[in-house]
Amino acid sequence: MIYEGKSLSASLLDGGIADVVFNAGGSVNKFDQQTVSELNELCAALESADGVKGAVVRSEKGAFIVGADITEFNDVFSQPEDKILDWVGKTSRVFDRFEDLPFPTIAAVNGFALGGGCEMTLACDLRVADETARIGLPEVKLGLMPGFGGTVRLPRLIGADNALEWMTTGKDQKPQAALNVGAVDAVVAPEKLKDAALAMLQDAIDGKLDWQARRAQKNAPLSLNQNEAMMSFSTAQAMVAAKAGKHYPAPHLMVETVQKAAGLDRDGALKLENEGFVKLALTDAATAQIGIFMADQLVKSKGKKQAKAASKDIKQAAVLGAGIMGGGIAYQSAVKGTHTIMKDINQDALDLGLNEAAKILNKGMEKGKVDAKTMAATLNHILPTLDYNAIKDADIVVEAVVENPKVKASVLKETEQVVSDDTIITSNTSTISINQLAESLDKPERFCGMHFFNPVHRMPLVEIIRGEKTSDDTVNAVVAYALKMGKTPIVVNDCAGFLVNRVLFPYFGGFSKLLLDGADFTAVDKVMEKVFGWPMGPAYLLDVVGIDTADHAAEVMAEGFPERMARIANDPVQSMYKAERFGQKNGKGFYNYGTDKRGRPTKEAAEEAYQLLGADTKEFDTDEIIARLMIPMANEAIRCLEEDIVGTAAEADMALLYGLGFPPFRGGVFRYIETLGLENFVKLADKYAHLGPMYQVTEGVREMAAAGKSYFA
């Protein structure tokens, strides 16, 4: 044995080949600090071992190395700047030390080799991948750039243009794509991986393969003439500006770093990488995006645990109502392989529901994402019916009829009479309290909310609402079904609007008040889209949701929380509703919707909307617009956490990200509060407290701010 650590070891094979094997204790190999220091010790052992002529690096697990240990980032990045620089500098020098070993090295890559894993392969002279390999540098998704030499070695290996595309998109690459650009030297079947790597290494040892030249290339400046450099970097800059936009500093800094380092050797280039890495690690965007990663892990592991505990397997589902939502839910259920009955009271609605599913599938076929077999299977899995009896054998029923408490109560009651005793019944209501709906049922323990978002096939979130009487078994089975549908379930407790709509309506409330005070809705949309980063500003979002739907929901919310959400006099949403400006669905809302000469959709601020709203327009500065909309949302989210509607700040952030499209670079509403700083947030809210109860902070957050506490501690 040359070296034996907890995560990696090296033994000497015949012919003087060191067999370096990553085999960490957990389910995957990753670069935590322990593994990095073992790699350093391994280098020392290899440098002093006798008779080593070459080294192969491989994994004993299903994947090579999945990347750095992101769970350590929080601690590392909360240190002072010089300490982070020291950490990344030392770590990247371990990879240099490996690269500088006095004999040829080769990586044998199976499964994921991402981030630090990819950088490990780049520190080798040669790379062989098997057909399962996925190689890439996804750091950009965390608001970072590669920190273990990736920005230096990859461009020198595959060219600046290819490397920047890999790094700025963060996409992992299939082996053939990696081979095409020269990121790997060969692709083989999984069972041949080790032998192929050993054979190639032997060629290098025997001088048949010029490994020194490969190594020299990674150590030298980039070989680009001025024209090529201009092409590569200006193309990359333009791509990043168009795709990532200004809110995401990481891809911009990557292009800049690779460009500045182009004329430098490895050590000079690495210094720039180290500095760039630290700069990004300290940005709010990185904190937010790393926070999302951690929150996503939490949500996923909670979901998996609950699904595992489920005692019931959903084989047959039934959806009541074939409207926008029912049609979407039936499609999503069917496309993931569950037989799904779609029941409506109206044949036209059933036809529309099926057509909608066919349309989504057709689009998927056009994009090459769906094949004819999936299309046929999905449509076969949906059984449209007008007959209640058809649902009698369903394991789960998702009610998605009109948002009317009386209609829903009677539909749920009827359902209970038709289905068997252990059928789970859920409602896709967006606002009505689950406890209230449960009153119409004899067995409320098998009932809960299952709130999907529109469009169902695209929006990842399903809010699962546990009523007072809902059993754990019911929640677990519904979580399992949501996961089977490919969705991200988040379980919340019951109240009007649940979590997502409960925090959305105060935001709309803030918007309404701002309009009444004279703001121009296009100016507000512009700020909330361009500066804050929402996919749609509030006026546009209301138009898309439907002003009639929003007005109706606002009534339910006002009933649920009269102290903060009571309807205000001359509420613009109500005025628009009364004037039958329902938004996109009838072509007129805050904006008028139409098509241009070429048939492309158009959207223009509606003169009629300005006339209806009446007030003289007044200019508000950007900060005030953001504060007046976001404080009510943040305050309501805090209340939801304090009242145990949602379990953790992390889950609340994920729910808003997946359900509303909260800007990822802001990480969610609690991350937004934390980025401002709790104390600053309280100060800001106090400044607007005179605007009404929506702006008044809870005692809880005031105390947390005073005590210097965090929602993510």
Which sequence positions are flagged as catalytic? 451
- Considering the complex, state which of residue 218 and residue 343 has its C-beta at the smaller distance from ligand NAD: 343
For the CB of residue 414, give the shortest distance to ligand NAD in the complex, in Å: 8
What sign does the dihedral 467-469-473-474 (CA atoms) show? negative
- Considering the complex, state which of residue 236 and residue 553 has its C-beta at the smaller distance from ligand NAD: 553
- Considering the complex, state which of residue 198 and residue 397 has its C-beta at the smaller distance from ligand NAD: 397
Buried b / exposed e over 580-617, threshold 16 CB at 10 Å, is ebbbbbeebbbbbbeeeeeeeeeeeebeebeeebeeee
Q: What is the spatial distance between Cα 459 and Cα 487, in angstroms, rounded to a whole number? A: 8
Q: Which two tokens stand for residue 460?
A: 């990842």
Q: Which two tokens stand for residue 112?
A: 């994921």
For the CB of residue 462, give the shortest distance to ligand NAD in the complex, in Å: 10
For the CB of residue 299, give the shortest distance to ligand NAD in the complex, in Å: 20
Quick one: which of 101, 97, 115 has its CA closest to 31? Answer: 115
Place of tokens 């770093």: 257
Q: What is the spatial distance between Cα 609 and Cα 592, in angstroms, rounded to a whole number? A: 9
DSSP 383: E
DSSP track, 517-554: TT--HHHHHHIIIIII--SS-HHHHHHHH-HHHHHHHH
DSSP track, 40-53: HHHHHHHHH-TT--
Peptide bond into 138 cis (omega under 30): no
Q: Which two tokens stand for residue 639?
A: 């209340």
- Considering the complex, state which of residue 223 and residue 404 has its C-beta at the smaller distance from ligand NAD: 404
In the three-class reduction of DSSP (H, G, I as helix; E, B as strand; rest coil), residue 116 is classed as: helix
- Considering the complex, state which of residue 232 and residue 430 has its C-beta at the smaller distance from ligand NAD: 430
Q: Which two tokens stand for residue 205?
A: 């040892």
Q: Which two tokens stand for residue 573?
A: 């949403």
- Considering the complex, state which of residue 248 and residue 452 has its C-beta at the smaller distance from ligand NAD: 452
For the CB of residue 477, give the shortest distance to ligand NAD in the complex, in Å: 21
Contact 657, 664 (CB under 8 A): yes
CA end-to-end span of the chain: 43
In the three-class reduction of DSSP (H, G, I as helix; E, B as strand; rest coil), residue 323 is classed as: coil
Write phi, then psi, for 499 (nearest 5 degrees): -90, -55
- Considering the complex, state which of residue 186 and residue 536 has its C-beta at the smaller distance from ligand NAD: 536
- Considering the complex, state which of residue 281 and residue 462 has its C-beta at the smaller distance from ligand NAD: 462
- Considering the complex, state which of residue 54 and residue 326 has its C-beta at the smaller distance from ligand NAD: 326
Q: Which two tokens stand for residue 356?
A: 């909608």
For the CB of residue 398, give the shortest distance to ligand NAD in the complex, in Å: 10
Contacts of 370 (CB under 8 A, 6+ apart): 361, 364
Measured in residues, the chain has a length of 713
- Considering the complex, state which of residue 73 and residue 452 has its C-beta at the smaller distance from ligand NAD: 452
In the three-class reduction of DSSP (H, G, I as helix; E, B as strand; rest coil), residue 20 is classed as: strand
Which one-letter amino acid corresponds to residue 397? V
Quick one: which of 386, 463, 459, 460 has its CA closest to 427? Answer: 463
For the CB of residue 324, give the shortest distance to ligand NAD in the complex, in Å: 4
Contact 61, 15 (CB under 8 A): no
What does the binding site for ligand NAD look like in residue numbers (CB under 6 A)? 320-326, 343-346, 349, 400-403, 407, 411, 428-430, 452-454, 545
- Considering the complex, state which of residue 202 and residue 454 has its C-beta at the smaller distance from ligand NAD: 454
For the CB of residue 448, give the shortest distance to ligand NAD in the complex, in Å: 15
CA-angle at 70, arms to 167 and 47, nearest 5°: 80
Alpha helix (H) residue ranges in 282-346: 284-309, 324-335
C-alpha to C-alpha distances, 602 to 539, 546, 592, nearest whole angstrom: 15, 17, 8
Write phi, then psi, for 217 (nearest 5 degrees): -60, -40
Q: What is the spatial distance between Cα 319 and Cα 342, in angstroms, rounded to a whole number? A: 5
C-alpha to C-alpha distances, 219 to 100, 224, 268, 499, nearest whole angstrom: 10, 15, 10, 53
Q: What is the spatial distance between Cα 59 and Cα 55, in angstroms, rounded to a whole number? A: 13
DSSP track, 485-504: TT-EEEEEE-STTTTHHHHH
Quick one: which of 63, 4, 58 has its CA closest to 28? Answer: 63
For the CB of residue 316, give the shortest distance to ligand NAD in the complex, in Å: 18
For the CB of residue 401, give the shortest distance to ligand NAD in the complex, in Å: 4
Output the residue with the shortest Cβ distance to ligand NAD: 323
- Considering the complex, state which of residue 326 and residue 509 has its C-beta at the smaller distance from ligand NAD: 326
Q: Where does 186-238 show beta strands of DSSP type E? A: 186-188
In the three-class reduction of DSSP (H, G, I as helix; E, B as strand; rest coil), residue 220 is classed as: coil
- Considering the complex, state which of residue 287 and residue 549 has its C-beta at the smaller distance from ligand NAD: 549
Q: Which two tokens stand for residue 352?
A: 């529309």
Q: What is the spatial distance between Cα 212 and Cα 310, in angstroms, rounded to a whole number? A: 57
Q: Which two tokens stand for residue 308?
A: 């595992």
